[in-house]
Chains A and B, each alone.
Chain A
């Protein structure tokens, strides 16, 4: 069965500093990996995805993520954090071997960016 772990409930970073939000996954086949962001009292918005190819993928709002197959990780990164990046971030995985559609989410990581 597929699963996702986000080991940090909360990440605090100062504005202008780099940020990393961690995600590890478990699937039986090749993973399709996603990051979503949720701003207060809003639905989720798609940020970026990894399907195949280059291990570093770029997405919306200056975010990027690095796929590491040996460590089964897909960490979200941004070189310089903004206060407006403060939100709840979710990692999600689909298992290509299992038909590729059933999508499982992690518990979420709350990011606080301090001015």
Chain B
């Protein structure tokens, strides 16, 4: 049982490039989220999804797009990378809307130069 799998683990982008961070879970979890982690700021919610075809914005959605075509996959797209998007990105999923904790992926460290 792999849990939540994120790819790639590391990525360097040039300003203005686009890319997709992949997230897949094999636990049949309905609820998935993307967070970014920055020093001193904790984890900030970018986008989340309550099921296939349903997504919503979190605290810091600008510059990012998401889609949820299947229960398993929840990719995060950076449209035009900026140095301010240098961060560690975590994908997380949970079975229950309110009462279960998250299972987190191992993260993607992104550097934008």
Contacts and interface: CB of A to CB of B under 8 A. Distances in A.
Nearest to B35: A105
Interface in A4-24: 6, 9
Q: Which of the four size classes fits the interface of chain A?
A: 20 to 34
Contact of A106 (B42, B92, B94, B100): B42
Contact of B99 (A9, A32, A105): A32
14 contacts: A6-B42, A9-B40, A32-B99, A36-B101, A43-B105, A43-B107, A44-B43, A44-B102, A101-B31, A101-B50, A103-B45, A105-B42, A105-B45, A106-B42
Contacts of B92: 44
Interface residues of B, number: 28
Given A42-B106, A105-B42, A34 B101 contact: yes
Interface string B66-105: 0000000000000000000000001010100111111111
Contacts of B44: 105
Contact of A100 (B33, B35, B97, B102): B97
A107 B99 contact: no
Contacts of A106: 42
Top 7 nearest A-B pairs (CB, nearest first) are: A100-B98, A46-B101, A107-B42, A105-B43, A43-B104, A44-B104, A43-B106
